[in-house]
């Protein structure tokens, strides 16, 4: 991909639907001296998303779109292009993007998923891993394509499932790893 030109930072948009804990870790990463990214926009499909507060705290432009139809997606694409966005990071974004949206940013949309893909695509990943008595779960950062959680895997992190884990306790431990994994994945993608 090699989006990095000289010492310039690349412009990123982070898409969220909820609390924005991965967004917060990406913002911290963007503030590091050696970080190759600048978060230029936060986009959400939920105007009540708690993560939108980080836009105010860190003075980042935010927009909320309903993503219900192609017209609203066209507005999003327009905003992204107007702000020279080079990379989109989905971070707890609970909407499926259309094929035409993905085509507009082919190879430039990343997603973080709380399982070791290709296992447990979609929702309720922790419950499913525990129910199936898996020894490990974890998280994956992958490129987004038109099939749910099926894009090329960039990087993964294994997390041991303990005997007394509940979906909640497992989710908590995996989230800590997600916060480390997403910046690592971005570094990897930018060096490709």
* Distant-in-sequence, close-in-space partners of 100: CB < 8 Å, separation ≥ 6: 70, 73
Considering the candidates 113, 126, 142, 179, report the single residue annotated as catalytic. 113
How many other C-beta atoms are found inside a 10 Å radius of the C-beta of residue 182?
25
Active site annotation includes 113: yes
Q: Contact, 83 vs 13, CB < 8 A?
A: yes
Which DSSP symbol is given to 94?
-
- Which residues are 88's β-sheet partners? 13, 109
Helices (H) and strands (E) in the chain, counts: 6, 7
Q: CA-to-CA distance for 40 and 123, rounded, in angstroms? A: 29
The DSSP string of 32-60 is STT--EEEEEEEES-TT-GGGHHHHHTT-
Q: Annotated catalytic sites, by residue?
A: 113
């Amino acid at each position: 991909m090699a989006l990095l030109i000289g010492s310039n930072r690349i412009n990123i948009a982070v898409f969220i639907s909820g609390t924005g804990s991965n967004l917060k870790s990406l913002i911290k990463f963007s503030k590091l001296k050696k970080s190759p990214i600048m978060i230029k926009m936060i986009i959400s499909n939920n105007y009540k998303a708690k993560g939108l507060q980080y836009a105010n705290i860190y003075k980042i432009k935010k927009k909320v779109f309903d993503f219900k139809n192609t017209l609203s997606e066209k507005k999003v694409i327009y905003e992204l292009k107007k702000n020279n966005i080079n990379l989109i990071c989905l971070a707890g974004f609970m909407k499926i993007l259309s094929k035409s949206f993905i085509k507009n940013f082919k190879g430039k949309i990343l997603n973080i998923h709380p399982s070791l893909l290709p296992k447990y695509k979609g929702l309720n990943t922790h419950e499913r891993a525990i129910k199936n008595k898996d020894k490990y779960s974890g998280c994956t950062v992958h490129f987004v394509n038109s099939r749910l959680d099926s894009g090329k895997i960039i990087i993964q992190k294994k997390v041991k499932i303990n005997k007394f884990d509940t979906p909640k306790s497992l989710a908590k431990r995996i989230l800590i790893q997600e916060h480390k994994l997403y910046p690592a994945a971005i570094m990897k993608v930018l060096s490709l």
